[in-house]
Amino acid sequence: MFKKRYIFETQRTKILRYLQNIVFISLVSIILYAIMSLIFVLIARNYNQETEKTFYNRSPDLIVVFTGDSGRIPLAVQLAKKYKQSNIFITGVYSKNSVDSLLRPLKIDEEIDTNLLTIDYLARNTVENVISTLRHLRERKGNKKIIVISHDYHVMRIKLIFNKLMEADDDYQLYFYSVESDFDNMRNIKIVAKEVYKWIRTYGFLMLWSPE
């Protein structure tokens, strides 16, 4: 397909061959991109199962929520009740929100001690979410087993950043639990496709990153 078919090739056949090559490469790229998107989601959902097995009849030391799309904070509250763990860290919160405004719609009862909930207003993106989380962990010793909550399409990028920014003496065990996206909604399909691009871009950025 990529080589010319004739010794003497006309301009027309040459253009057609180039177009065929472009179409072929584009189709292969789209298929590979779609497969990568699917893998991201499947891995994240498998992490959900692993986290449930790990914390069967035991509690995490801390639940971390990366804000963004809806459903993440309610999921954190659900897990906090399930594991009887009120120690929650929410990173990337809009400056006008407070603990009360975030939790009021969820009708929190006495199962959760809101005094143990910490909010981070500084993080503006996923890299800063990870930096804020690591800072929180380093300042408050004793939190070793951590559940990190986001959406299924977001988990792989979060994990990538943690792996890069964690130091040798950061002996935290990270477990991921994600909100499962509804892919009957075209918006979510677009988000996953965009997230793969963000993962690739972040990978390149982190290769040049120097935490110092």
Of the ranges 47-56, 111-120, 183-192, the best mean pLDDT one? 47-56
Domain assignment present for 83: yes
pLDDT at 164 over 70: yes
Domain assignment present for 140: yes
Domain assignment present for 5: no
Number of structural domains in the chain: 1
pLDDT at 212 over 90: no
Domain assignment present for 148: yes
Binned at pLDDT 50, 70 and 90, residue 32 comes out as confident
- In whole angstroms, what is the distance from residue 196 CA to residue 198 CA? 5
Domain assignment present for 193: yes
- Residue 115 has a CB neighbour count (10 Å cut-off) of 8
Domain assignment present for 3: no
pLDDT at 184 over 70: yes
pLDDT, tens digit, for every residue of 42-83?
Answer: 999 999 999 999 999 899 999 999 998 889 999 999 999 999
Domain assignment present for 1: no
Binned at pLDDT 50, 70 and 90, residue 2 comes out as low
What does pTM read for this prediction? 0.86
pLDDT at 1 over 80: no
- CA dist 143 to 24, 156, 179, Å? 51, 22, 23
CATH number at residue 174: 3.40.50
pLDDT of residue 63: 98
What letter represents residue 11's amino acid? Q
Domain assignment present for 4: no
Domain with 16, as residue range(s), is 11-207
